[in-house]
Copies of this chain bind each other. A is one copy, B any other.
Amino acid sequence: MAIVTVPVLSRSERNAMAMQAAGTERPATIHDIAAMCGVAASTVSRALSTPDRVNIRTRARIEAAAAQLNYTPNSQAKALSSGRTGAVGVLVPDITNPFYFDLIRGTQLQLKAAGYTQLLVDTEESDEVEASSMEQLRKSADGIIVTASRLSDEALLAAAAKTPIVTINRDVAGVPAVVIDTPSATSQALDHLISLGHTQIAYMAGPLTSQSSTLRWTALAAAAEERGVDVRRLGPFAPKTQSGAAAADAAVHSGVTACIAFNDLIAIGMLQRLRERGIRVPEDMSVVGCDDIFGADFCNPPLTTMASPIEQAGRVAVSMLLAQLNPLAGGGSRSRSLMPTHLTVRGSTGPAPAAS
């Protein structure tokens, strides 16, 4: 029986063969550069990451070779040895919600500017998915931005101990957070409605698990008491336009003349339903939304809403996270950032109808 000797191939030989076979030019590695320059791979690594550590002449040679081979470091390998992945996870409860479009845009822009990659994850409004995603991201991302978390305070705190985290619209002591100050805008909305003569007002609540909704209601109820007007809470309603129909019906049935919705989606859904039912906005019913999402300005009528600097919130969250990741840059990173909001009055609010 003949013994077939299989020649042992060096890395570059194999690479060359692979290229020949597949026609697919394999990305260059530091070894390729090292071979080309006649130095060790470690020197190449240093030349590119710690330039001072390498003679300026060899560095120049290496840089030239790198450019010629069109070298780009393999991020996987980098991540494995250095421990940092250059990626940041962004968790949103529902990509469908336009609110998060602006947020995602903000994080995306800021992350890209800092050379990071964005890993977008839809947690489907589920705390379980959220928890498992975070666990997963712990290894594949350097940090996580969690929006409108559905997790318990304890769970969030525990997670924050393991991974750098910044939350958005979820305030837990000990976890850096960006909070959009809609509760204060809620009072403005109430004053706006009161100035229009409304005294019977409803708050169309969001999900029970939403801290934002709770905070808004608390602020609203306090302000209402203070001002001596009647504000009742209806719902909860899912933050989708479809829920707007139920919300509209509930509002009409309750006899109020104005309502403040948890968010613009519900408000826009209400507008549609009210129109269907022949109830005029704002003549018969005033509607205030929250967030000023895409569409709030061109719906019918245009929506009076509490404008949130959503995209900016995303950017700030990224900045806070990056400050946490690279403490060197100084500038003591604040652990909490409150984003101001303001009321944008459009066509969906008007004077209260004469008492019937």
Contacts and interface: CB of A to CB of B under 8 A. Distances in A.
A77 interface: yes
Number of copies of this protein chain within its complex: 2
A257 B23 CA distance: 56
Nearest to A100: B101
Interface stretch (A31-39, A133-141, A169-177, A231-239): A133-141
A98 B95 contact: no
A268 B140 contact: no
A75 interface: yes
Interface in A2-53: 23-25, 27
A299 interface: yes
Interface residues of A, number: 45
Contact of A271 (B24, B108, B298): B298
A35 B122 CA distance: 36
B139 A75 contact: yes
A105 interface: yes
Interface stretch (A113-121, A145-153, A222-230, A322-330): A113-121
A328 to B, nearest CB: 19
A74 B135 CA distance: 11
B96 A120 contact: no
Given A138-B27, A140-B75, A272 B298 contact: yes
A116 to B, nearest CB: 11
Interface string A47-88: 000000000000000000000000010111101100001000
Contacts of A135: 72
A139 B298 contact: no
Nearest to A303: B298
Interface in A98-114: 98, 101, 104-105, 108-109, 112
